[in-house]
Amino acid sequence: MALDGVRISASLTTVEIEPKGKRAQLRLTEQAAFLDGYDRPELRQSGWGSLLDALGAELMRAVAE
């Protein structure tokens, strides 16, 4: 990830989705290196939380249709 052209972090993210009956389990693993203190683990956790909440809401809408 870069901010104003300066690299602030690098990461490798793996997403696994497993069926669990009529549902699914999602496992997200992120390995990250944070450079120069501009990016932090809690910022990533918050960002992923928001994205996964939005994905869950969209999937619930799709199932309800």
- This prediction has a pTM of 0.77
| Domains along the chain with CATH numbers | 2-64 (3.30.530.20)
Give the model confidence (pLDDT) of 35-56 as tens digits.
Answer: 988 899 999 999 999 999 999 9
Give the model confidence (pLDDT) of 55-64 as tens digits.
Answer: 999 989 998 9
- Per-residue CA distances from 60 to 17, 36, 63 (Å): 16, 39, 5
**Is 16 in a helix, a strand, or coil?**
strand
Give the model confidence (pLDDT) of 3-24 as tens digits.
Answer: 999 999 999 999 999 999 988 9
- Buried b vs exposed e over 40-50: b needs ≥16 C-beta within 10 Å? eeeebeeeeee
**Is 13 in a helix, a strand, or coil?**
strand
Tell me the average pLDDT of the chain.
93
